[in-house]
């Protein structure tokens, strides 16, 4: 048990969802006869769920400040529809239509942020009104019919990294380069972390644990690099996945390394104490809600690009999947707790669950029931562990060691 803690580097409870994700992938791969762990399936899984995971990035910050945003799906659908309509009716370039959609997201977030920060209306009520307004707006301006999107957006919604260089690798070389960069960045980060591991306690992590950790993670990154890069000709790591990856890194840095990120957690932990310590609570509320709607517009753009058209039903119930991803990732209902990386893991659990049940031929009705039980079980398990101080699944398996 002690050696596992040294390798993983911390409280084992934080790896519960990672373990659950791995088990889900293995179980569904066995049940589906190997159809889960294939290049085409994982490419589709990432492309088809990138927009929900992007929503989850912003939703985490909203939930950390102790609020909720029910409008994200409606804002995404409205922004995507406006983008398609202005591109079609006014013949403006696709990139200008994208800027219009992003501006709508920012304005919608400013609207929600104003009511929350200046008038003190809870986010639940504010965004419930926003959900109704923008959902009705989508149907109104579209007249309940789909509108074709600019063809250039297809690359953002369902495109792949380009092929280049020699063919002797037997893989898509753009994906291979991305995997090498990922491994190199992980090694650099772990070495840097190891150098400062004993600063607080005076006890440095053993070098062998660092080496084992690097080898294990490099093997995992290498395997998925091969999985994404060895598919049929013309496919590789999906562009929506790359956009998600970049946003995940950006928001991880924002939440963990910036003044604004510290303010978000301070306000969520104790609003009164944060205000007394000099945190501008109103500004934190405003910027967090505006950021959420901005990411909603990004998600709407990616979805429209993948679907090649904007529809009146786009965005329906997206907020439920985003909220579920955050809570499965371990965020606290009361606010103040949660991380970007854990949220991504929670979102991937939902994505793998959807994908695996689809491969098994389970209908949408039963899928919703199963997802509901998974959400309740994940949150209940997390709350129980925090209240009773119990160890994780890993801890119980190795309790006698």
Query: What mean pLDDT do residues 86-96 have?
Result: 92
Query: What mean pLDDT do residues 2-6 have?
Result: 61
Residue 173 lies in a domain: no
Residue 224 lies in a domain: no
Residue span of the structural domain in which 45 resides: 35-159+238-392
CB atoms within 10 A of CB 154: 16
Residue 102 lies in a domain: yes
pLDDT at 392 over 90: no
Residue 294 lies in a domain: yes
Q: What is the pLDDT of residue 26?
A: 93
Residue 350 lies in a domain: yes
Rg (CA), the chain: 22
Residue 206 lies in a domain: no
198 pLDDT band (50/70/90 cuts)?
low
Give the CB-side neighbour count of residue 363, counting CA atoms within 13 A: 2
Average pLDDT, rounded, for the chain: 88
Instruction: Report the distance separating Cα 8 and Cα 131, nearest Å.
Output: 42
* The token pair that represents 316 in the structure block: 């329906």
Query: What is the secondary structure of 187-224 as a DSSP string?
Result: HHHHHHHHHTTTTTTS-PPPHHHHHHHHHHHHHHHHHH
- pTM for the structure as a whole: 0.91
* The token pair that represents 380 in the structure block: 């209940």
Residue 342 lies in a domain: yes
CATH at residue 351? 1.10.3470
Domain count, the chain: 1
pLDDT at 393 over 50: no
Residue 166 lies in a domain: no
């Amino acid at each position: 048990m002690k050696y596992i803690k040294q390798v993983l580097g911390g409280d084992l409870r934080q790896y519960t969802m990672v373990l659950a994700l791995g088990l889900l992938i293995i179980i569904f791969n066995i049940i589906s006869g190997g159809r889960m762990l294939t290049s085409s399936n994982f490419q589709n899984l990432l492309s088809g769920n990138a927009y929900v995971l992007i929503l989850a990035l912003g939703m985490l910050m909203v939930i950390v400040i102790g609020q909720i945003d029910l409008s994200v799906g409606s804002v995404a659908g409205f922004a995507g529809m406006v983008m398609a309509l202005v591109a079609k009716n006014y013949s403006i370039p696709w990139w200008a239509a994208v800027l219009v959609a992003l501006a709508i997201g920012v304005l919608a977030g400013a609207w929600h942020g104003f009511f929350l920060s200046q008038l003190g209306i809870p986010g639940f009520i504010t965004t419930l009104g926003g959900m109704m307004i923008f959902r009705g707006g989508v149907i109104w301006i579209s007249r309940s019919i789909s509108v074709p999107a600019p063809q250039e957006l297809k690359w953002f919604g369902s495109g792949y990294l380009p092929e280049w260089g020699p063919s002797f690798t037997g893989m898509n070389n753009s994906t291979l380069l991305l995997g090498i960069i990922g491994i190199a960045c992980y090694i650099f980060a772990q070495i840097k972390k190891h150098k400062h591991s004993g600063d607080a306690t005076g006890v440095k992590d053993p070098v062998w644990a660092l080496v084992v950790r690097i080898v294990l993670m490099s093997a995992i990154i290498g395997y998925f690099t091969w999985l994404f890069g060895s598919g049929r000709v013309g496919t590789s790591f999906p562009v929506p996945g790359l956009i998600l990856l970049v946003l995940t890194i950006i928001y991880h840095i924002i939440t963990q390394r910036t003044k604004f990120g510290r303010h978000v957690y301070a306000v969520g932990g104790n609003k009164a104490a944060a205000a007394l310590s000099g945190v501008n609570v109103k500004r934190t509320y405003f910027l967090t809600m505006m950021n959420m709607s901005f990411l909603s517009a990004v998600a709407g753009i990616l979805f429209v690009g993948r679907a090649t058209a904007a529809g009146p039903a786009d965005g329906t119930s997206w907020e439920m999947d985003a909220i579920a991803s955050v809570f499965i990732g371990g965020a606290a209902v009361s606010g103040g707790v949660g991380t970007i990386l854990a949220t991504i893991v929670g979102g991937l659990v939902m994505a793998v669950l959807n994908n695996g049940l689809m491969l098994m031929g389970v209908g949408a009705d039963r899928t919703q029931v199963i997802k509901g039980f998974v959400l309740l079980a994940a949150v209940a398990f997390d709350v129980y562990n925090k209240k009773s101080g119990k160890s994780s699944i890993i801890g119980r398996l190795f309790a006698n060691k």
